[in-house]
Structure 1
Amino acid sequence: MNHPAGLDSAPTAADRTGPSSHYSRLIEQARKEHSRICVVAHPCDDVSLGAALQARAQGLFEIVLVGPQARLHAVAAEHGFSLEGVTLIDTPHSHASAERAVEEVLAGRAQLLMKGSLHTDELIQAVLCTQGKGLRTGRRLSHVFIMDVPSYPEPLFVTDGAINIFPDLSTKADIVQNAIDLHHGLGLGKPLVAILSAVEQVTEKIPTTLEAAALCKMADRGQITGGVLDGPLALDNAISLEAARIKGIVSPVAGRAQILVAPDLEAGNMLAKNLTFLSGAQAAGIVMGARVPIILTSRADSAQTRMASCAVASIYAGYLERKVAVEAQHS
């Protein structure tokens, strides 16, 4: 996340020094998981390298660093980081780092993947490799923000604000299912899911209202499972009981939403950044839909937000492992 021009001194979520009770609980929960290995692709700056080392120090997971060893040692030396006891895999450049990191996961030597200082697209391209070596599943990839909003009583998921630009209906179904699965994986129970649009009435003049209605019917038919969906809902009546009452909306979701599904990437990204930069929220987040959770962090994230992203990924990796084990017992 970048500051708007001329607002470099504006307060951001990174300026919040008080602890988040939501994130603290997630971090403590992750520490109780048995140790897993996170492979970090190209952590060649102080933020990404520092985040990986901090997650290791806090007991969230062990790490394998993939990148040019000379650069990794130089960054560590410059910022006073110790690489003692950390496994390093030497690669010539960021593209090779992304590919090798994916190979480590495919070989079973890592259970989580973390983005370093390379571009997100470069890492995702390696994840989605179509030559049989990627981490692709039958589900579309999507990003979920797990937000701590000071004025909201529980963690608020916002999706998708980072991966799918203009998702079609089938992609949106995967986006919704990914977020629902994460909610369950974090032990937060069956979520209330608001499919957002500009209005709460279904109208052909606004195509996203039609898609919202279709997604709700897909949930009724069992094509989306594990959550309670309603939509279209405007943002106000999705998160405010009073707004929903004024509009006369009777719904188990309206005013109580735990997952906000944006109509497209621009809306989701703006919503998350609006909450972050204007409401003092913090925005942890991971990418869902691959064989393992993928951790994406930003230079604008606070240290606790980066650790919360790592914690969320670790908890969900454990959930996936237990789910696979249960399915294997019943097969």
Structure 2
Amino acid sequence: MVQEFILIAFSSLKQLQILLFLFVLVSYIICVTGNLIIIVLIRTEPLLQTPMYFFISTFAVLEIMFVTVSIPKLLDNLISGNKRISFIECFTQLFVFNGLGMTECYLLVVMAIDRDLAINSPLHYSAIMRKELYTTLAMAPWVGGFAISSLTTGYTSQLKFCGSNQINHFICDVAPLQNLSCSDASMSKLSTVVAAILTAIFPVFIIIALYAHIINTILKIKGAEGKQKAFSTCSSHLIVASLFYGAGLVVYVRPTGGENDKFLALIYTVLTPLLNPFIYTLRNNDVKTAVNNLILKKINVFKHP
């Protein structure tokens, strides 16, 4: 029986692995730093003490955890050639990685609900979106995401692995592990399909419906300035959701464990988390104002210690 797995990762790229290592390392540093800055800004700037930014700060925490589960092992694989991962480590990574990914799927839905409520019921928004409610809404995706991940991980961990132990990926993921199994993987594959429907397909349709409702309302707003302001509060979230679901749907709705899956996985484990802090800052006037206020405060501290 297999006691450990070998993560093949990007061994076929050979000389390009050093360049890939540098790209992934810089992306990881920028992602973690950018999200930490967003968290600090939202926690300290009174202008950003709203439900929307509470969800964004929760999303930033989630992003840091998401990249930390997968990227350090990939960096080790690329630079040192250490491709081994024990059975327990592999399934722990599978459980946490999938749990965080599914949590992100649900959190993006919650953020869309928040924007829909703010745009379509602005007069009742403050009364409805109280701290107790938005705190509960922010925590619910974590419960749902890890509950479903425990289902898929549980079925996959019961498979027997008695042949090849080489995983054609840079992380322990469901489809590559199913392909290595020497026992019937039908229940594991069924659980994967059910999880994909619950955490990817349904949320996508909900987000599309919510944004159709939002856009319909925005188009009825009189005046270009009002429309632009309404669009600016929603466009960042819509871009992030599109980037995340785009690659995720291709990989998980029809999980094959093929050669292209690991390259697609780079998009939602490295590229999308790299872009998200910029999307939420460069396209957001409130965050820009908060950054300017923080800089001015620091300047005043130096001038008048």
Structure number with greater CO (CA < 8 Å, separation at least 6) is 2
Does the pair score TM above 0.5?
A: no
Q: TM-score range by the shorter chain?
A: under 0.3
If you compute each CA radius of gyration, which structure gives the higher value, 1 or 2?
2
Name the one with the larger strand percent. 1
Name the one with the larger helix percent. 2
